[in-house]
Amino acid sequence: MTPLTSSTLLRVPGESDESLETRQHALAKLADFAMPTGREEVWRYVDLDFDLEDFEVAVAAESIDERPPVPDSAGFALVVDGSVVAAESSDPNLTVGRATDRFESLIDPGQDIFTAAQAAHGAERVDVVVADGKAIESPIFIDVSASSEGASFPAVRIRVGKGSEATVALRLRSADDLPALVVPHVEGSLGDNSNLTVVVDQGWGRATRSIGQIVFSVGRDASLKTAEAGLGGALARWQLDIKLAGQGSNAKVVGAYFGDEEQILDYRYVMHHAAPNTHSEMFLKGAVEDEAGSVFTGMIRIDEIAQKTDAFQTNRNLILSDGASAQSVPNLEILANDVKCGHGSTVGQLDPEQRYYLMSRGLDRPSADRLQVRGFFEEALSRFPVPAIVEPLRGRFNEKFLRAQEEGRL
Amino acid sequence: MRNALVIKDLHASIGDLEILKGVDLEIPFGEVHALMGPNGSGKSTLSHVLMGKDDYTSSGSVLLDGEEIMGLGVDERARKGLFEAFQYPVEVPGVSLDDLVEEIGGAVGNGDFASRVAASTAQLGMGRFLKRPINEGLSGGEKKRSEMFQLALVQPKVAVLDEIDSGLDVDAVREVAGLVESSRSENLGVLVITHYSRILNYMKPDRIHVMIGGRIVRSGGREVADELEDTGYEALRAELGLVPVRDPLLDLP
Ligand SMILES: Nc1ncnc2c1ncn2[C@@H]1O[C@H](COP(=O)(O)OP(=O)(O)OP(=O)(O)O)[C@@H](O)[C@H]1O
Ligand SMILES: [Mg+2]
């Protein structure tokens, strides 16, 4: 194990001098950052109950014996504790590989202690490249796991060529009792007229903390779809930044999240309209029970140049227990004058009229509530792309609610 | 004749507002009764209080097939054989009728539930609604159809149909009336709640009751409905010496 601020970084296999040097610079800068205090605007609603300094860099176990089953896929990558242990493609128009070279990231390393730490310790990444003008029919699966205590810095970079099409399914997981810290970075650039779909299954173990960033840049007339299911983690945060950079580009973002016990789920989503005629839609539904807390901070930013923008954001929350809390904070920053833009944000409880109606049909209260909650999530899950992934997700949302009922919390 | 439903001195209030002021009613098995009454007289309140909705403070006695059900939970009453078709069926977003049917099967699915589902789906033309969210985006008539469909599935001992005819076109009213008549059985008592005698033209209620101001003020045969049709509720109020309640809509500027 290596302390996070150690003055020497180990070279990862295949890493060039230049790249190692870049990381060493980043490491030197890491010392300038302190843990967020909560006074910073971007950390305002989340209480970080740990110190990065308490973690050492995780080292992947020598051999990976459990290789998750891969459904029919065009490509596949396996990342363990930040190391890319497998990467392959079965489609000639698609590259899925391990990369260690220096690159120009869309994620600014100077944002905070976590981005700075990722710049220093994130030595390797999965590189997904789709050639111009090609449609990759089957999904590309990327499995990111944490297997040892300590901090890990997995990274995924996706580049979709002009006029191309691809779907990436990202799964995040760790054992329930693993007190790991993960700082995942995912970034993607969409060439003109391309389509990219990214589905994230956030299934971290109950003791794992994750502070992640997802950044996309969308080219002219290109379409991005993202979906995230947030089920795991002691603390799981995503900062999602989408820049609609090209004229006529659009993005659809959906999400469903469910926090139980003492889970903290924190979403900070920014939709940046930087070109005219761009469209965006965010639709997220979340529930919390027991003493769980969730935050959704959604920002729509419309540049002066981005006339004819059409942007909408919806965030609906269900509080299932008195001790649980959900915050929904919509923000609009509009500099253009000819736009359509709006938001809908609610925090509520189970509807007694629905409960009464269902119970009048003979369902007992737990069944009636389970059905109502299932319906609540269904409105988000039914918008998820990639049906093969959605079906098991439905089951996991149901099971989580059922477990809370069986353990007497609901 | 054995009674499906016996209501004795039923009172119900919300806060300080007393809505039901001592309701008595008996429905024998095999019979269909109608309950008529002006807006706000307490008809829906009666169906909700029978079903056990917890918005109300209530007292009195309700026997379902001889068994006291006051004090039981909503779902227990349903499982004992009480069914309420809602005047305003509730939308349950994201939950398909199919899902509900499955749950109903688990909760009260006696006998050959699956074949009943198949038969009623075909008879009521419900196929296209099964995959849609419960009551969401359904027309008024379609919602009532869905209520009748669920009634057919659960095979209750007592069915309270709260304005099952409202919002229906004339053909649909005739169809619903026909369904009610054909559901007549030795194991079922029905209370049809309605404003208008229209639906009663297509069925043969054994008795008609009129509720005004939270009490049943008149009970009788077909002639009760005919009389109301002729003279309206105001005349009945006058005859009974009840203080007329002006329709608040008439007072609008
Ligand atoms: N939850 C409630 N809160 C306050 N008042 C109520 C409530 N429910 C019913 N009431 C009042 O009780 C009275 C009876 O209402 P109810 O819905 O039972 O009438 P109804 O006979 O079914 O009328 P309609 O023919 O219009 O359906 C009305 O004056 C109504 O405003
Ligand atoms: Mg009514």
- Cα atoms in the Cβ-side hemisphere of radius 13 Å centred on B56: 27
Q: Is B28 helix (H, G, I), strand (E, B) or coil?
A: strand
Q: How far apart are CA A95 and CA A18, in angstroms?
A: 24
pLDDT at B249: 62
Chain A residue nearest residue B149, CA to CA:
A361
Q: Is the CB of B194 under 6 A from ligand 1?
A: no
pLDDT at A97: 97
Q: How far apart are CA A237 and CA A294, in angstroms?
A: 10
pTM of the full structure: 0.94
Q: Which of A393, A177, A380 is nearest to A287 (CA)?
A: A380
Q: How far apart are CA A180 and CA A148, in angstroms?
A: 7
What residue's CA is closest to ligand 1, atom 13? B40
Q: Is the CB of B40 under 6 A from ligand 1?
A: yes
Mutate-to-test residue for ligand 1 from B18, B45, B48, B162, highest number of ligand atoms within 8 A of CB: B45
ipTM value, please give it. 0.95
pLDDT at B74: 98
Which residues in B have their CB inside 8 Å of a CB on A?
51, 53, 73-75, 78-79, 83-84, 86, 89-95, 99-100, 103-104, 106-108, 133, 150, 154
With contact defined as beta carbons under 8 Å apart, do A112 and A38 qualify?
A: no
Q: Which of B3, B31, B58 is nearest to B209 (CA)?
A: B31
pLDDT at B111: 77
pLDDT at B242: 80
Token pair belonging to B100:
């509900």
Q: How far apart are CA A384 and CA A227, in angstroms?
A: 6
pLDDT at B7: 98
Residue B183 is which amino acid? S
- pLDDT tops 60 at residue B245: no
Nearest to A362 among B86, B92, B154 (CB): B154
Cβ distance of B92 and A377 shorter than 8 Å: no
What residue's CA is closest to ligand 1, atom 28? B40
Q: Average the pLDDT over B23-48 and give the result.
A: 97
- pLDDT tops 80 at residue B230: yes
pLDDT at A62: 58
Mean per-residue pLDDT over chain B, rounded: 93
Cβ distance of B103 and A361 shorter than 8 Å: yes
Q: Is the CB of B247 under 6 A from ligand 1?
A: no
| Chain CA centroid to CA A355, Å | 33
What is the Å distance from ligand 2's center to B87 Cα?
Answer: 6
pLDDT at B240: 85
Q: Average the pLDDT over B139-151 and give the result.
A: 95
Residues of A in contact with B106 (CB under 8 A): 367
Q: How far apart are CA A169 and CA A70, in angstroms?
A: 11
What is the Å distance from ligand 1's center to B181 Cα?
Answer: 28
Nearest-CA distance from B238 to chain A in Å? 37
Mutate to test the interface with B, among A355, A357, A377, A382 (most CBs of B within 10 A): A357
- pLDDT tens per residue across span B63-88: 999 999 999 999 999 999 999 999 99
What residue's CA is closest to ligand 1, atom 26? B39
Q: Is A191 helix (H, G, I), strand (E, B) or coil?
A: coil
Which regions of chain A are under pLDDT 50? none
With contact defined as beta carbons under 8 Å apart, do A330 and A315 qualify?
A: yes
According to DSSP, the residues that pair with B182 across neighbouring strands are: none
What is the Å distance from ligand 1's center to B45 Cα?
Answer: 6
Q: Is A355 helix (H, G, I), strand (E, B) or coil?
A: helix
What is the Å distance from ligand 2's center to A230 Cα?
Answer: 43
Q: How confident is the model at residue B250 (pLDDT cuts 50, 70, 90)?
A: low
Note the ligand closest to the C-alpha atom of B195: 1
pLDDT at B167: 85
Q: Domain B3-88+157-251 is of which CATH architecture? A: 3-Layer(aba) Sandwich (3.40)
Residues of B in contact with A360 (CB under 8 A): 51, 74-75, 78, 83-84, 86
Q: Is the CB of B19 under 6 A from ligand 1?
A: yes
State the DSSP string of A241-284.
EEEE-STT-EEEEEEEEEE-TT-EEEEEEEEEE-STT-EEEEEE
Residues of B in contact with A382 (CB under 8 A): 94
pLDDT at A64: 59
Residue A169 is which amino acid? A
pLDDT at A106: 97
What are the domain boundaries of chain B? Answer: 3-88+157-251
Neighbours of A338 (CB within 10 A): 9
Note the ligand closest to the C-alpha atom of B19: 1
Chain B residue nearest residue A350, CA to CA:
B92
What are the domain boundaries of chain A? Answer: 12-188, 247-410
Residues of B in contact with A384 (CB under 8 A): none
Cα-based distances in Å from A175 to A203, A269, B136: 10, 27, 41
